[in-house]
A and B are shown apart, each in its own frame.
Chain A
Amino acid sequence: MQQPGRAAEIKAIGIGKSFGSFRALDNLTLDIGRGEFLTLLGPSGSGKTTFLMILAGFVQPSDGRLFSDGVDITERPAEQRAAGMVFQGYALFPHMSVEANIAFPLKVRKKSATEIKRRVGEMIERVGLKGHEKKLPAQLSGGQQQRVALARALVFEPGVLLLDEPFSALDKSLRGQMQAEMKRLHQETGTTFVFVTHDQSEALALSSRVAIFDHGKLLQVGRPDEVYDRPANRFVAEFLGEINMLPLKGVKRADNGATGLCEDRAVRLRGNADAVGGNAILAIRPEHMSIAREAAVGENGIAATAIASTYLGAATRLDLTTRHGAKVTVSVPNEVAAAALSKGNSVWLTWPAEKGFLLPDGGQ
Chain B
Amino acid sequence: MRAYLSERVGAAVLMAPLLLFLVLAYAWPFLGVVKWSFTLPTPGLGQYNALLTDGLVQSVFIRTLRIAAIVTLVSVAAAYAITVVWVRGTPAQRVIAEFCILVPFWISVLTRAFGWVALLSNRGLINTWLQSIGFISEPLALVRNEFGVIVGMTHFLIPFAVFPLASSMRSLDDRVLLAARGLGSSRMRTFWTVFVPMTRSGIIGSAMIVFVFSLGFFVTPAILGGGRSVMIAELIYLRIFQSPDWGLGAAISVVLVLFVGALMALLFRYVRPKQLI
Contacts and interface: CB of A to CB of B under 8 A. Distances in A.
Nearest to B199: A95
B198 A78 contact: no
Contacts of A92: 176, 179
Contacts of B53: none
A95 B184 contact: no
Contacts of B189: 108
7 contacts: A57-B182, A78-B178, A79-B186, A82-B182, A91-B176, A95-B197, A105-B185
A79 B184 contact: yes
B183 A105 contact: yes
A2 to B, nearest CB: 11
A153 B183 contact: yes
B183 A95 contact: no
A104 B198 contact: no
Contacts of B197: 95
B263 to A, nearest CB: 24
Residues of B contacting A: mostly: helix
B194 interface: yes
A321 B186 CA distance: 62
A56 B173 CA distance: 18
B66 interface: no
A67 interface: no
A235 interface: no
Contacts of A79: 181-182, 184-187
Nearest to A53: B178
B89 to A, nearest CB: 19
A58 B178 contact: yes
B184 A109 contact: yes
A56 B182 contact: yes
Interface string A65-101: 0000000000001111011110111011111000000
Contact of A87 (B178, B184, B194): B178
B175 interface: yes
Contacts of B200: 95
B183 A89 contact: no
Contacts of B178: 56, 58, 78, 85, 87, 91
B180 interface: yes
B198 A91 contact: no
Given A79-B186, A87-B175, A93 B181 contact: no
B174 to A, nearest CB: 9
B173 A89 contact: yes
A108 B176 contact: no
Interface of A: 56-58, 77-80, 82-85, 87-89, 91-95, 104-105, 108-109, 152-153, 156, 162
Contact of A104 (B175, B180, B186): B180
A89 B174 CA distance: 11
Given A58-B182, A92-B179, 9 more contacts: A78-B178, A78-B182, A79-B181, A79-B186, A89-B175, A92-B176, A93-B180, A93-B194, A93-B198
A95 B198 contact: yes
B184 A108 contact: yes
A79 B187 CA distance: 8
A58 B179 CA distance: 10
Interface of B: 173, 175-176, 178-187, 189, 193-194, 197-198, 200
Nearest to B177: A91
A85 B179 contact: yes
Nearest to A89: B175
A119 to B, nearest CB: 14
A94 B176 contact: yes
A140 B178 CA distance: 22
A108 B183 contact: yes
B199 to A, nearest CB: 10
Contact of B179 (A77, A80, A87, A109): A87
Contacts of B173: 89, 91
Nearest to B190: A79
A85 B184 contact: no
Contacts of A104: 180, 183, 185, 193
A93 to B, nearest CB: 6
Contact of B183 (A58, A77, A152): A152
Nearest to B183: A105
B171 to A, nearest CB: 11
B184 A105 contact: yes
Contacts of B181: 58, 77-79
A344 B143 CA distance: 103
B247 to A, nearest CB: 49
Contacts of B183: 82, 84-85, 104-105, 108, 152-153, 156
A156 B175 contact: no
Contacts of B187: 79
B175 A82 contact: no
Contacts of A80: 184
A94 B198 contact: yes
Contact of B176 (A58, A77, A93, A109): A93
A352 to B, nearest CB: 48
Contacts of B185: 79, 104-105, 108
A3 to B, nearest CB: 14
B184 A82 contact: yes
A346 to B, nearest CB: 57
A93 B172 CA distance: 11
Contacts of A152: 183
A153 B179 CA distance: 9
Nearest to A153: B183
A81 to B, nearest CB: 8
Nearest to A56: B182
